Structure 1
Amino acid sequence: MARATPELIHALRQTARNLLQGAPYQWGHMGGCNCGNLAQELTKLNKDQIHRYAMQRHGDWNEQAEDYCSTSQMPIDLLINEMLNAGLQLEDLKHLERLDDRQVLARFPLEKRFLKHNLREDVVAYMNAWAELLEEQLLEKITLPAMYELATA
């Protein structure tokens, strides 16, 4: 699961907001899909740039994550590296593309856990739920040490 960072939480919420407000969305387009829209927010590249970088190597986001090399100078690896620096893990890219991370899905009522990976509304709901989960984790990291300090003072 991603490292809870303010940057990642903000990017997830902003990406969801952008999608809700009509940002271009096309699941089969590397720059306009689930990961592509989040990549736009994290890297400030546009969807066409992201797509062009991804097409320099084969595969979708799942395969790009599998083939990622931290020392490569390929544009897609540099882009993924930026996403990882924001707190994401390679597995998160795979889960985001399929909307299937169990921790995120557990936040939905049982009857609403079967999200369609290529439906804009489901992507928005997933990103918002993920942001809430990460925000709770971040707050826990902040408040537990503070509570410990108070208890030992």
Structure 2
Amino acid sequence: MARPTPELINALRRTALKLQNGATYQWGHMGGCNCGNLAQELTSLNKDDIHRYAMQRYGDWNEQIDDYCPASQMPLDLLINQMITAGLMLEDLKHLEKLDDRQILLRLPLNKRYLKHNIREDVILYMNAWADMLEEQLLQKIQLTDLEAIMAV
């Protein structure tokens, strides 16, 4: 699961808000899909640049992640490196593209747990629930660190 970082939490919330406000969403477009929209926020690249980078190899996000090499200088690998630096794990990207991370889905009401990976409203719901979960983890971590510091005095 992703490391709970302020950068990642904010990017998830900004992405969800932009999608809610009508940002371009096209699941079959590498720069306009679930991962592509989040990548726009984490890298400051636009959807067309992301798509162009992805087209230098074959496959969708899942296949691109399978072929990811951290030492590569391929543009999409550099983009994925930026996303990992922000706190994501490769598995998170695969789950985001399919909206199927069990920890996130369990946070949703029963009638909202069967998300469709290519429906804008489902992506928004998933990203907001994920941001909430990461924020709770971050706050817990901060509280524990603060408590440990107080106990050490």
Shorter-chain-normalised TM-score: which range?
A: over 0.9
* Partners of 2:111 and 2:13 in 1: CA distance: 24
* Partners of 1:44 and 1:37 in 2: CA distance: 10
- Equivalent in the alignment of 1:117: 117
- Equivalent in the alignment of 1:6: 6
**CA displacement, residues 6-47 of structure 1 (integer Å, 9 cap, x when unaligned):** 000000000000000000000000000000000001001000
- Equivalent in the alignment of 1:148: 148
Q: TM-score, normalised by structure 1?
A: 0.97
2:38 corresponds to 1:38: yes
Q: Percent identity of the aligned residues?
A: 73
Deviation at 1:149, TM superposition (A): 3.1
CA RMSD of aligned residues (A): 0.9
* Partners of 1:150 and 1:109 in 2: CA distance: 38
- Equivalent in the alignment of 1:98: 98
How many residue pairs get aligned? The number is 153
2:76 corresponds to 1:76: yes
Deviation at 1:152, TM superposition (A): 4.8
* Partners of 2:67 and 2:149 in 1: CA distance: 44
* Partners of 2:152 and 2:83 in 1: CA distance: 38
Aligned amino acid, residue 135 of structure 2: E
* Partners of 1:74 and 1:149 in 2: CA distance: 43
Q: Which 5+ residue runs of structure 1 have no aligned equivalent?
A: none
Deviation at 1:151, TM superposition (A): 4.0
